[in-house]
Structure 1
Amino acid sequence: MRLNELLGRRVIDADGQEIGGVADVRLVQDGPLLASRQAALRIDGLIVVEKRSTRLFGYERRVGPALLRWLVHRRLGAVWYLPWSDVAEVAETVSIRRGRGELRSLDDVARY
């Protein structure tokens, strides 16, 4: 599967409810060394938005003017960070092992 095939997929929680769509993927460069002498990338987690999967420009976090952040959150709804270890299956949809109430807000996840 290619990364762009994952973007936009609908996400289904452990209770079978649709919670949103994959808007972004967080990658970490800590895999085995490649021929280019750089470490391979791996998926660390997914950023899921409630209302629509769309491009994120950074205003979904606590940065930028308050009015702009408010408009972005109004359009996106809730924004969650989903660790890759919580993904149960990737098919036509992304099935996860948690319920909606157990998801962590993107704001609660430390930047790195």
Structure 2
Amino acid sequence: MRLNELLGHRVIDADSNEIGGVADVRLVQDGPLLVSMQRALRVDGLIVVENRSTRLFGYERHVGPELLRRLVHWRLGNVWYLPWTEVEQITDGIVTITTRRTDLRPLEEMARY
């Protein structure tokens, strides 16, 4: 499966409730050293938005003016970070996770970097 195929997948929590859709995939470059002398990328987690939008504007986190961030959040609804370790299964446009909606961390709570 290609990473872009995950975009737009519905996300279902441990209670079988739909919580949103996959809007982005977060990669970390900490894998084994490659021939190109760079580290390999690995999937660290998914960015899930409540309104199943597949477009992020870059204002979901700590950047930009407050008013603009509020407008983006109004359009997208809640935006969560879902660690890859919490993904249980991916089938037919659905990502099933092992946690409940109430246990997900808002994207804004992630460390700034």
Structure 1: how far apart are the matches of 2:16 and 2:37? 43
**Can you list the C-alpha shifts for 1:61-107, whole angstroms capped at 9, x where unaligned?**
13212221111111100000000000001112100000011100001
In the alignment, what sits opposite 1:74? 74
Report the AA paired with residue 61 of structure 2.
R
In the alignment, what sits opposite 1:101? 102
Question: CA shift at 1:57, angstroms?
Answer: 2.2
TM-score normalized with structure 1 length: 0.94
Question: CA shift at 1:20, angstroms?
Answer: 0.3
Structure 2: how far apart are the matches of 1:51 and 1:111? 24
Q: Give the 3-state SS of the residue equivalent to 1:101 in structure 2.
A: helix
Q: Which stretch has the larger CA shift, 40-49 or 30-39?
A: 30-39
Pair 1:60-2:60 in alignment = yes
Runs of 4+ in 1 over 6 A off after TM superposition: none
Report the AA paired with residue 51 of structure 2.
K
Q: Give the 3-state SS of the residue equivalent to 2:72 in structure 1.
A: helix
Structure 1: how far apart are the matches of 2:33 and 2:62? 35
Q: Which stretch has the larger CA shift, 52-61 or 88-97?
A: 52-61
How many pairs does the alignment contain? 112
Percentage of pairs with the same residue:
72
Q: Give the 3-state SS of the residue equivalent to 2:74 in structure 1.
A: helix
TM-score normalized with structure 2 length: 0.93
Structure 1: how far apart are the matches of 2:36 and 2:79? 35
Report the AA paired with residue 26 of structure 2.
R
Matches within 5 A, 1:14-25: 14-25=14-25
**Can you list the C-alpha shifts for 1:32-57, whole angstroms capped at 9, x where unaligned?**
12222211100001000001222212
Structure 1: how far apart are the matches of 2:110 and 2:101? 16
Structure 2: how far apart are the matches of 1:30 and 1:9? 26
Report the AA paired with residue 67 of structure 1.
L
